[in-house]
Amino acid sequence: MDLPIIYHPAYVAPLPEGHRFPMPKFGKLYELLLTDGVANPEQFHTPKRPPTEWIELVHTPEYVQAYCDGTLDPKAQRRIGLPWSPALVNRTCTAVGGTILTAQLALQYGLACNTAGGTHHAFPSYGSGFCIFNDLAIASRVLQQLGLIQKILILDLDVHQGDGTAFIFQDDPSVFTFSMHCEVNFPGTKQKSDLDVPLPVGMDDDAYLQTLAKYLPDLLSEIQPDLVLYDAGVDPHAGDRLGKLALTDTGIYRREMLVLSTCVAAGYPVASVIGGGYADDLDALTYRHSLLHRAASEIYRKYHL
User: Which residue, 164 or 276, is less far from Zn ion as judged by CB?
Assistant: 276
Collapsing DSSP states into helix, strand and coil, what is residue 268? coil
Least Cβ distance, residue 233 to Zn ion (angstroms): 5
Q: Which residues contact 283 (CB under 8 A, 6 or more apart)?
A: 28
Q: Rounded distance, CA 137 to CA 207, Å?
A: 29
- Other CB atoms within 10 A of residue 207 CB: 16
Are the beta carbons of 154 and 175 closer than 8 angstroms? yes
CB of 203 to Zn ion, least distance (A): 15
Q: How far is the CB of 235 from Zn ion (least distance, A)?
A: 4
Q: Using CB atoms, what's the residue nearest to Zn ion?
A: 276
Please write down the long-range contacts of 174-179, taking CB distance under 8 Å and 24 or more positions apart: 174/144, 174/150, 175/137, 175/140, 175/151, 176/151, 176/152, 176/219, 176/223, 176/225, 178/153, 178/154, 178/215, 178/219
With beta carbons less than 8 A apart as the criterion, state whether 101 and 271 touch.
Answer: no
Nearer to Zn ion, 162 or 225 (CB): 162
Residues that bind Zn ion (CB under 5 A): 158, 160, 233, 235, 276
Least distance from Zn ion to the Cβ atom of residue 237, Å: 11
Q: How far is the CB of 285 from Zn ion (least distance, A)?
A: 13
Indicate the residue among 50 and 233 with the shorter CB distance to Zn ion.
233
Do 184 and 204 form a contact (C-beta atoms < 8 A)? no
Query: Between residues 126 and 300, which has the closer beta carbon with respect to Zn ion?
Result: 126
Q: 152, 68, 69, 41: which is closest to 103 by C-alpha?
A: 152
Cβ proximity to Zn ion, 102 vs 161, nearer residue: 161
* Residue 114 C-beta: closest distance to Zn ion, Å: 15
Closer to Zn ion by Cβ: residue 25 or 49: 25
